[in-house]
């Protein structure tokens, strides 16, 4: 059997190695138009920032090492220019010699990936405007920085690559500005959770110009002007486009394969396309979101690797199935770690789901053990059924392991209330006897039993401030004086029982504290006295960070710069 693979990196290289492990006799040829067949895509910004210092560390395999180990023929600088499903061949161009030829196949695997999205605006071809997707892109950016010593950069786009590159350029001493149309960075996160990311970026001097549309680029004064709609332009020594990626599916489209959203390649659970004996994997294919069941594009290395393995199994006569993508991700943002899985609140509502959430601020490990740091967790679940839909965590140590537990819980179909039952490892340097994931489960169970009633940040502006309800802040007097929500009166939780006569009966009570814990205790005290009580999810800390962030975004202008 002869297998031709178009594209290496995560999906194609994984499939090639798996096919060889399953079939020692198969002839396997991989055509890769770049000079690198398998590289650490996610590590590219860290090479630019000198965190990764050796070029060789980026290239996981070379054509020689792949052939020596797997007897797979890796032909770099070879671009497949056309597919011919009717005669089971592909047209190939050798980019070094310009030779063109046809290669036959018994099975064909497409792993073309995605290409940086190029906006349809003037100036995208100027030399000081870069994209970052391949190793070659990385070398071009690093060479430009080494030769020209730029002092400033504008990044158009605030996704994974944009944030990682912003951090690394800032660590090189450059002034860095991120500009984009959405009013938040990192769309996998809800706007309220993204506020914590914005806070960290500003802390390290990254300027954020959010909610502004780029209309073009011009070379000016030895650098680049980034033209903004209705605003003054931004000037920098260099600009990097990081506004996302688009499935690279021209080959599939020209060959008549069925396409999905954004012209991605349609595949079934076996990674088979609409054409016989042609498979497709990676960033170019449409998948099902594992939580919503809706069609999705999820450009991540983990799914691409799994899909490559599944396609290889089926090419070799097996019956492996891809069950969908969950979108589990983690990113380093200077000192912070931000992670998410499943579907966020915003997208769950767009999908028509009736959702609720809990927001909590647990410590990374036992409070009495030195070095614990607070994290912020948001867990989203479906009302009535308590189906676990997604989670977001932002903090320091221990974020990734909690997110992996939550991702596993979603994959296993656990209800949000069942998080309380998970038997998780505990020792004071690593966790608490009540792990943060357990704590989320306790809170959701209390909601399910009517023990906990919540109100949320977005409800605060709609509360009646006419005295028809009681608005209560149960933090200490000192905390209250440092900042509070207007209209909320202060009675510290430890004084509440003795001052119960100050609270009028027959009125609903809305309670807040710093993080939601003391106010929950207050709600139980007040409920014991016959009051109907609601607890602010996330507490004043969460409210303060999110509201301040919204103010900065709204008031920021390109001239003044949000920082």
Active site residues: 42
Look up tokens 């202008």; give the residue: 557
Sign, Cα dihedral of 309, 315, 320, 322: positive
| C-beta separation of 212 from 229 below 8 A | yes
Give the integer Cα–Cα distance in Å for 509 and 536: 11
The dihedral built from the CA positions of residue 171, 174, 175 and 176, taken in this order, carries a sign that is negative
Phi, psi of 18 (to 5 degrees): -65, -40
Could you tell me if 457 and 485 are in contact, meaning their C-beta atoms sit under 8 angstroms apart?
A: no
Q: How far apart are CA 355 and CA 336, in angstroms?
A: 27
Residues in the chain: 563
- List Cα–Cα distances, 540 to 336, 457, 481, in angstroms: 21, 9, 13
Tokens for 229, please give them.
Answer: 């709609």
Sign of the CA dihedral with 38 first, then 41, 46, and 50 last:
positive
Which has the closest alpha carbon to 75: 40, 101, 106?
A: 101
DSSP 3-state of 40: coil
Q: With the CA atoms of 410, 415, 420 and 422 taken in that order, what torsion angle do they form, in degrees rounded to the nearest 10? A: -50
**Residue 214 tokens, joined:** 């780029």
DSSP 488-537: -EE--GGGTGGGGGGSPTTS-EEEE-SSSHHHHHHHHHHHHTT--EEEET
Please, which residues have CB within 8 angstroms of residue 327's CB and are 6 or more apart in sequence?
A: 188, 289, 296, 298, 300, 340, 341, 342, 343
The whole-angstrom separation of Cα 296 and Cα 475 is: 44
> What is Dmax (Cα atoms) for the chain?
90
| Residue 13, token pair as written in the block | 């290289």
Residue 480 to residues 426, 449, 467, 491, Cα–Cα distance (Å):
34, 31, 20, 10
What tokens appear for 206 in the block? 């990254």
**196: buried, middle or exposed (CB in 10 Å: 19+, 13-18, 0-12)?**
buried
**Pair 562, 209: CB distance under 8 Å:** yes
Cα 164 to Cα 158: distance, rounded to the nearest angstrom: 9
């Amino acid at each position: 059997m002869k297998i031709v693979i178009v594209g290496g990196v995560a999906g194609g290289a994984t499939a090639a190695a798996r096919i060889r492990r399953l079939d020692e006799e198969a002839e396997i040829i991989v055509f890769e138009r770049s000079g690198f067949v398998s590289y650490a895509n996610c590590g590219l910004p860290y090479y630019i920032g000198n965190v990764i210092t050796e070029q060789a560390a980026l290239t996981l395999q070379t054509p020689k090492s792949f052939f020596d180990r797997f007897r797979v023929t890796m032909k770099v600088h070879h671009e497949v220019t056309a597919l011919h499903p009717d005669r089971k061949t592909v047209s190939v161009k050798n980019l070094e010699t310009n030779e063109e030829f046809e290669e036959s196949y018994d099975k064909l695997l497409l792993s073309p990936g995605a290409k940086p999205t190029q906006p349809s605006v003037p100036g995208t071809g100027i030399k000081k405007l870069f994209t970052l997707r391949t190793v070659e892109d990385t070398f071009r950016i690093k060479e430009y920085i080494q030769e020209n010593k730029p002092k400033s950069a504008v990044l158009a786009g605030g996704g994974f690559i944009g944030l990682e590159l912003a951090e690394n350029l800032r660590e090189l001493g450059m002034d860095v500005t991120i500009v984009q149309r959405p009013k938040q960075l990192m769309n996998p996160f809800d706007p309220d959770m993204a506020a914590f990311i914005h806070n960290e970026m500003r802390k390290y001097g990254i300027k954020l110009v959010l909610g502004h549309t780029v209309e073009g680029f011009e070379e000016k004064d030895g650098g680049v002007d980034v033209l903004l709609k209705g605003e003054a332009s931004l000037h920098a020594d260099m600009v990097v486009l990081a506004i996302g990626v688009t499935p690279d599916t021209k080959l599939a489209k020209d060959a008549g394969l069925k396409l999905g959203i954004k012209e991605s390649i349609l595949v079934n659970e076996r990674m088979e396309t609409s054409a016989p004996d042609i498979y497709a994997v990676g960033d170019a294919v449409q998948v099902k979101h594992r939580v919503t069941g809706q069609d999705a594009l999820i450009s991540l290395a983990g799914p691409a690797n799994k899909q490559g393995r599944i396609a290889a199994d089926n090419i070799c006569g097996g019956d492996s199935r891809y069950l969908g993508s969950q979108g589990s991700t983690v990113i380093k943002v200077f000192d912070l770690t931000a992670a998410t899985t499943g579907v966020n609140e915003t997208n769950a509502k767009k999908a028509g789901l009736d959702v609720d959430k809990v927001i909590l601020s647990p410590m990374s490990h036992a409070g009495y053990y030195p070095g614990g740091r607070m994290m912020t967790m948001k867990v989203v679940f479906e009302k009535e059924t308590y189906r676990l839909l997604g989670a977001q965590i932002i903090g320091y140590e221990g974020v990734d392991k909690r997110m992996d537990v939550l991702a596993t819980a979603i994959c296993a179909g656990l209800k949000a209330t069942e998080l309380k039952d998970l038997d998780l490892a505990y020792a004071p340097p690593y966790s608490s006897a009540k792990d943060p994931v357990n704590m989320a489960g306790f809170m959701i169970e209390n909601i399910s039993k009517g023990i906990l009633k919540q109100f949320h940040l977005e409800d605060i502006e709609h509360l009646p401030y006419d005295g028809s309800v009681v608005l209560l802040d149960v933090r200490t007097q000192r905390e209250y004086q440092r900042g509070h929500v207007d209209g909320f009166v202060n009675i510290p939780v430890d004084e509440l029982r003795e001052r119960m006569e100050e609270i009028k009966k027959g009125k609903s009570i809305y309670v807040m504290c710093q993080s939601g814990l003391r106010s929950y205790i207050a709600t139980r005290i007040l409920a014991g006295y016959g009051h109907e009580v609601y607890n602010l999810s996330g507490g004043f800390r969460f409210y303060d960070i999110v509201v301040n962030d919204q103010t900065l975004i709204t008031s920021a202008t390109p001239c003044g710069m949000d920082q």
